[in-house]
Amino acid sequence: MNVHIHLAVGEVKIDDVVTGETADDIVATVRDRTAAKAGFLVGAMIRRMTPLDFAREATRRYNAAANQNDPLPESCDEFLNQAVAKGLATIESEDETA
């Protein structure tokens, strides 16, 4: 599965394609990339999160930044579906990235 993330909230701008077998894999990759860009201590805290905990924290932060009240996802699949519904991500077919 390939997910194209296209997000711009305040100063945060992401335009990246993430590949994984499952939604959990996708969110784990996004978590790891986010942790790598954060400072040492913040990055360490981010890496300790499960993919679902990261998805919920990302939703909380998005809600605060965009003045939204989206429910916290119950799964990484739900998180990706919410992102697609809001236009923040696109799930690409394997053919589109080949």
> What's the pTM value of the predicted model, to 2 decimals?
0.85
User: What DSSP assignment string belongs to 40-86?
Assistant: HHHHHHHHHS-HHHHHHHHHHHHHHHHT--PPPPSSHHHHHHHHHHT
Average of per-residue pLDDT across 63-81? 95
Would 16 be classed as within a structural domain? no
In a domain, 46, yes or no: yes
Q: Is residue 72 part of a domain?
A: yes
Q: Is there a domain that residue 13 lies in?
A: no
Burial level of 69, CB count in 10 A (0-12/13-18/19+)? exposed
Which residues constitute the domain of residue 76? 2-8+21-93
Lowest-pLDDT range of 8-12, 43-47, 70-74, 90-94: 8-12
Judge whether residue 65 has pLDDT over 70: yes
15, part of any domain: no
- The percent of residues above 90 in pLDDT, for the chain, comes to 67
Predicted pLDDT of residue 80: 96
Q: How far apart are CA 18 and CA 25, in angstroms?
A: 9
Q: Is residue 25 part of a domain?
A: yes
Indicate the pLDDT class of residue 26, thresholds 50, 70 and 90: very high
Per the structure, the count of domains in the chain is 1
Q: What is residue 10's predicted lDDT score, i.e. its pLDDT?
A: 64
Domain-located, residue 14: no
pLDDT at residue 97 in the model: 46
